[in-house]
Chains A and B, each alone.
Chain A
Amino acid sequence: DAEITQSPRHKITETGRQVTLACHQTWNHNNMFWYRQDLGHGLRLIHYSYGVQDTNKGEVSDGYSVSRSNTEDLPLTLESAASSQTSVYFCASSEAGVNYGYTFGSGTRLTVV
């Protein structure tokens, strides 16, 4: 069965370190998204991609970057982790041009100490 997988499930890192969160989907979806979820803020879009080599900034992109070298993967990198980036991160994917909604991964809980 097709799926979307995030790794790791939990991560603790120190302030200032570079961290990369992985997202891998086998749905063959063109569109991929990264969200962070914080109490009182719901889900906020960090970055998104509509296909290979395409990346776009979302509403809270500062301090984050993504790259899309193939259809299956959209890794999210925190260049220099800050305590404000402690959050739960969700990756999602969707088909291009078809509005069946998004498929979400199970999330990565990141703690920056």
Chain B
Amino acid sequence: EVQLVESGGDLVQPGGSLRLSCAASGFSFSTYWMSWVRQAPGKGLEWVANINQDGSDRYYMDSVKGRFTVSRDNAKRSLYLQMNGLRADDTAVYYCATVGAIYQYYMAVWGKGSTVTVSS
């Protein structure tokens, strides 16, 4: 069974840092692009970042460029999101997801999410 489990969410002060992790199992992790998507409380979905199979290609939404870094460790079957300079509007549930196929960047399988709250 394909499974994604996020962790690392917490309450953090504005300007602080946090690292989210996503543990993958049940599929060949190293052969898939991966995504991070977030959802602010009571709001819609917002794509955050994508990373290709070996980490050499990464894409970000504009508002997180320079602050967030997506990475992966294929040996550990894990995806990460390093978040620096956190702001109140980064408060959201963060989901990791598998990308459907090469050049087909829909989110095929989702984790249950990890909650990040940015507040003083």
Chain A partners chain B: no
Taking Cβ atoms with an 8 Å cutoff, the residues of A that contact B are none
